[in-house]
Structure 1
């Protein structure tokens, strides 16, 4: 659900508008406890955040691991500029080095990092296994990778609506057409295993919102999930995925899940794995 701009060839289906930047910030702040609990890097450890985007997750990484040395990488110079400003405003004491680079052309040495953190990046890549293999070579033996991804197939809501389900499916189909996978959360374990990691542990991180949880209704249901789906309206209509009338009905129905009688459920998947010491895997491009 976040920025994929770690790779020059990735087509970010959500776009780079000011609205999208705000959405990413709302998402990171609303879900900080859910996604970052259990992730706290020791002081002095070398942490690579791949695909940092506008720094929405970088702020929370820095807060949960004060003293860690974070290298935040993104392919978009504009996103990095926004990330710098966000850190300066919200975590000025953080030790962050910024790097403008492509995931498949990184200026780092093998085993340079103790930990790698990847959040909402793999969903936008045409070859996520290759990306994970590249990142494994930058980890010291015994170092860890943490991967967080969503899965739009996990969205459950009330009132039920086939039209609301259809607009979500439009986003999934457009992301697939752009070379990504909005259902990747369920695949993290096999992807990490194929990339050569050991001790893989994947745990669901579930968001559930109803009127008793107004912060989640606003921060997640409305401002994160529905806003993300609404942003692909023009693309969906241009591609002929739905009629305008059906789209508008679907979005209206989706908004009903954030009203007094509505509920919304979504599952993120958080994986932690260890870099094994052998180097017997084929090159990342194979």
Structure 2
């Protein structure tokens, strides 16, 4: 499988619009897709690594839940020391295979454990950092609090969760502007109106965003001692929450 191909998955007007899946076709184009779809993605990943450098502790684990091709995993690997284990979890075989290939020549790759599993089923133990990077939005809404509670229970004292999500914006002038600017961003990256429309239709069947208020209420309900918003680019937001 060739990875790093250009994202042309939604350019065919005659192809049926099925629910979005992280299959081999998506894995093939995923780096290009996420770069052209998520504003500020490189900075989001880079600062996640800086947070990992501050909070990861020797003898603990860092979890990348919904790791896809491992941008977060590889950033944590580069930013943490040899006594930190990294656990990368994804339920898509193509993503795990792609990450395994990307780790093959990296120093310290023996610190990374790859698990083909649902993030809701992965055990979380002795964790100093857990990352949910654009992942919670694909979990059924009624099960999101339970997942956060499991993460909180698996954190060591002083451990942290990084949560990054596409947010549900209000139906007002500000929210409409953010939505329009996100589409403008994708056009500026070379996506056609057809591709934007078709991908939106595919994602709307599986990606169910929450508002900022809902996310923050849920973090408090899950038992985190506090949290801070550290990133926003248009309708994408990231928090760090601590035990």
Alignment-derived partner of residue 175 in structure 1: 203
Which residue does 1:123 correspond to in 2? 137
Name the residue aligned to 1:190.
217
**Which of these residues, 269, 272, 281, is aligned with residue 237 of structure 2?**
269
* Paired residue secondary structure (2:31): helix
Q: Where in structure 1 are there 5+ consecutive unaligned residues?
A: 1-10, 207-265, 276-286
How many angstroms does 1:141 deviate by? 3.8
Name the counterpart of 1:6: none
- Give the alignment partner of residue 80 of structure 1, picking from 85, 89, 96: 96
Deviations 1:91-110 (A, max 9, x none): 3324211122222322x36x
| Change in 2 beyond 3 A, CA 1:134/1:176 | farther
Q: Based on CA coordinates, which of the two structures has the bigger radius of gyration? A: 1
Q: Which residue of 2 aligns with 1:59?
A: 74
Contact persistence 1:151–1:186 (CA under 8 A): no
Report if aligned partners of 2:22, 2:92 keep a CA contact under 8 Å in 1.
no
2:65 maps to which of 45, 50, 72: 50
- Report the TM-score, using the length of structure 2 for normalisation: 0.65
Equivalent residues, number: 198
How far residue 169 of structure 1 moved from its aligned partner, in angstroms, is 7.2
Match of 1:36 among 38, 41, 46: 46
What is the CA–CA distance in structure 2 between the aligned matches of 1:201 and 1:51, rounded to whole Å?
22
3-state SS of 1:145 partner:
strand
- Is residue 49–residue 116 contact of structure 1 (8 Å, CA) maintained in 2? yes
1:22 is the counterpart of 2:31: yes
2: CA distance between counterparts of 1:24 and 1:12?
13
TM-score by length of 1: 0.57
Specify the SS of the correspondent of 2:104. Answer: helix
CA contact (8 A) 1:175 1:182 kept: no
Are the equivalent residues in 1 in contact too, given 2:24–2:94 (CA < 8 A)? no
Residues 25, 267 of structure 1: alpha-carbon distance in 2 compared, 3 angstrom cutoff: closer
CA distance in structure 1 between the aligned counterparts of 2:93 and 2:196, rounded to whole angstroms: 30
Q: Point out where structure 2 has 5 or more consecutive residues left out of the alignment.
A: 1-18, 170-177
